[in-house]
Amino acid sequence: MPIRPIVRFPDPLLRLPANEVTVFDPALSALCDDLLDTMRAAPGIGITAPHIGILQRVTVIEIEPGEVRRYVNPKILWSSPDLVTHPEGSVSMPGISEDGIRARSIRVAYQTCDGDFREDEAEGLLAICLQHEIDQLDGIFWLQKLSRLKRERAIKRFEKLEKERH
């Protein structure tokens, strides 16, 4: 499967909500495979279709090598009132991370790449990652969840890194 180019911050595409998937066909399965290969190459532990310029509600997560999770049209049904602080970043903003605050556990509804409906509970890093990626599918780039000070600091660091890369 091909590794796709990743949309980089501050591209406005990263702030657009993704469209619900209505067609479950081999092209959708191929998209999931491409997302996995692109995420591994980045490297990252989560990626959405908007990260590669496709505005569809698809995300792939692989926290432990070989434990790949594919979510189509995911939505959070319930969030724990218990919060946790954890470093977050994005494949669209490589080299930058900041502590974010997320629910410790969630319940999520989604479809498989075949269109089957499922519900799962997630906690810890998987819950954090799902919340992060579902935000992205809703057009909320992770920086928007940070305080103004943390957001500005992260953007300055990223701009400096980008200058050094070019």
Catalytic residues: 133
**Cα–Cα dist 86/72, whole Å:** 25
Residue 56 is given by DSSP the state B
**Cα–Cα dist 49/25, whole Å:** 16
* DSSP secondary structure, 105-123, as one string: EEEEEEE-TT--EEEEEEE
Query: Measuring CA to CA, how many Å separate 156 from each of 17, 31, 145, 160?
Result: 25, 33, 17, 6
Strands 58-62 and 117-123 come out as unpaired
Structure tokens at 27: 């092209």
**Cα–Cα dist 62/94, whole Å:** 17
Half-sphere exposure in the Cβ direction for 9 (13 Å, CA)? 24
